[in-house]
Amino acid sequence: MKYKENKKLKTRIIIFLIFIAGIVAALFIFNTLNIQNKKSNTYECKNCNVIFLDVDLLRADHIGLLNKEYENTTPNIDKFFRNGIIFKDVTAPVGATQVGNIAILTNTDPFIISNIVQTKYYDLNPESLKKPLITYSNKSEFSNYKNIFQIFKKQNYTTIEINDGGFSGRNTFMDAGTDEYYEETFPEKKINEAFKQTTKKILELEKNSEANTSNKKSFFLLMHSNNLHAMPYRYPNNRTHINNKEIVYLKKLGKDWYNIFFDFDKSHQPLTENKTINPVWLKRNYKKSFHIQWMNESIYQNFHKLSYELYSQQLKFVDEQLGTIFNELENDKNLLNNTIVVLYSNHGDGLLDNKILNHDVSYQSCIHVPILIRYPNMKKSVIIKEPVALLDLTPTIYALLNITNPKNQTDYGLIPVLTGNKYDREYLFGTSGDRFVRKGDMKLIIFGANLKELYNVTSDPKETNNLIKEYPQIAQELNDALEIHQITIAARNNFKVNKLVRTT
């Protein structure tokens, strides 16, 4: 009997031990899979090359990846980034290039940059100064805010900037830290030069990479393109173009290029005299009159439609230029597999949405911009729908490369969003002559002293329905948050909250 009982006991013990072993094994497998899953959700590309393609005035809602209506407009962009990281709801800090470019590349709050520009360098554009600007890269107020070139140079990267545009690059002191700098500010004879220089540099870097595999040096390259900039568009005359009596194609840029204008005199508002551009009217109205209130509704709808058509025509041209860069990258898989490529824009353009002809305002047309990231060896896209700030682009890149973020820059970044964690920003702030603040779906814009507009930008992305009277409590919360933010930023940086500068 005792023998049988002992045998039963041993059997039970063995079964129990097998059960325990099974649990331990299951936990081990679970933890292993969990660790692997966490690893698959982390992004790190130490010593990778980085290419920034900044296409000024590129609106997010005109890219096929973000809006299927425009799939035929941006086929090269869509193809190159289709398996990348796609941010669908990005807010630029400013609706204009000058302050926005500095804020983005230095990862500095736009209210700080706006104050410096207003008090120290009211207009950094050399066109208005009628002479080239001296480069104050290491002496200006902006030397306190290290830009992305300086950060990469400190990490022993080769740094290259190819700039096209008067409100960017050297003219905003953002050439500091560059090993190689190419300026195409006034490219009347070389409109394609920025794209050509970029593809040329990529080819050189490919050859250097192949020749020096044992002693490879990573690079950071930024190209700022101005070919999508607001009218007058710069457009090749050998391309198909829209024929319309209210569009003027002026061969001002030599035999190969047009300057494209609207001929407003068809709507009884003279922009041309004897078919020649009237610069006085242009300066006084076309560039400065942001709300086109003089148009009646039928004229407005006509020019609104034409604005979209001309913008799409110009964007197709720019997309083809970008395609030449993408082709060079894809021709060398070794380089592409070790390079992060980012497409973004400083700001968008009005295109007569909200009756805004140009930009430099805080409507979605001007501040809803793309961030598209081609990350090495990604097999499928990662789509981020959460509202994020363009200001967080540079700290995100630093994090991907395991580079320490400079002390005087924000700790915000997009890595938490990529890894499924909580985004650090509750509010998105910006200034563009006017000021704006966004929380979730709701955005408040303050024009001047007290003219306020409130929009649900998710359900009403064109901002046609001002909700300021319907939701006074939300408007007040956003107003208070913006005021606290401005006061806090001013106190930390020892300046007063002054009237904000309007840039172009």
Share of the chain above pLDDT 70, in %: 74
Coil, strand or helix: which one is 353?
A: helix
Residue that is last in its domain, among 363, 397, 424: 424
Domain count, the chain: 2
CB 147 within 8 Å of CB 174:
yes
Q: What is the CATH number of the domain that holds 475?
A: 3.30.1120.10
Residue that is last in its domain, among 376, 394, 424: 424
* Residue 10 lies inside a defined structural domain of this protein: no
Residues 60 and 174 in one domain: yes
* Residue 383 lies inside a defined structural domain of this protein: yes
Residue bearing tokens 């009277």:
469
CA distance 55 to 119: 28
Candidate ranges 118-127, 225-234, 373-382, 400-409; pick with highest mean pLDDT: 373-382
Residues 418 and 442 in one domain: no
DSSP for 147-203 reads -HHHHHHHTT-EEEEEE-STTSGGGGTTTTT-SEEEE-SS-SS-TTHHHHHHHHHHH
Residues 330 and 219 in one domain: yes
Q: What is the CATH number of the domain that holds 107?
A: 3.40.720.10
Q: What is residue 43's predicted lDDT score, i.e. its pLDDT?
A: 75
CA distance 132 to 130: 7
Residues 418 and 460 in one domain: no
pLDDT in tens, 212-256: 555 678 999 999 999 998 888 888 888 899 998 888 888 765 667
CB 326 within 8 Å of CB 80:
yes
Classify residue 460 as exposed, middle or buried by CB count within 10 Å of its CB (0-12, 13-18, 19+).
middle
Least confident of 231-235, 268-272, 403-407: 268-272
* Residue 260 lies inside a defined structural domain of this protein: no
CA distance 302 to 304: 5
CA distance 231 to 351: 10
Nearest to 434 by CA among 360, 344, 351: 360
Q: What is residue 287's predicted lDDT score, i.e. its pLDDT?
A: 36
Coil, strand or helix: which one is 337?
A: coil
Where residue 37 falls among pLDDT bands split at 50, 70, 90? very low
CA distance 445 to 110: 15
Q: What is residue 125's predicted lDDT score, i.e. its pLDDT?
A: 60
Residues 117 and 204 in one domain: yes
| Domain that includes residue 465, residue range | 433-494
Write b or e for each residue in 141-170: b if 16 or more Cβ atoms lie within 10 A of its Cβ, otherwise e: bbeebbbbbbbbbeeebbbbbbbbbbbbbb
pTM for this one?
0.84
CB 222 within 8 Å of CB 52:
yes
Residue that is last in its domain, among 389, 407, 424: 424
Higher pLDDT, 347 or 404: 347
Higher pLDDT, 108 or 184: 108
Residues 325 and 444 in one domain: no
pLDDT in tens, 433-451: 789 999 999 999 998 767 8
* Residue 365 lies inside a defined structural domain of this protein: yes
pLDDT in tens, 156-174: 999 999 998 888 998 888 9
CA distance 254 to 184: 16
pLDDT in tens, 111-139: 999 888 877 776 666 555 544 444 444 45
Residue 409 pLDDT exceeds 60: no
Residues 374 and 486 in one domain: no
Residue 281 pLDDT exceeds 50: no
Residues 420 and 439 in one domain: no
Residues 350 and 485 in one domain: no
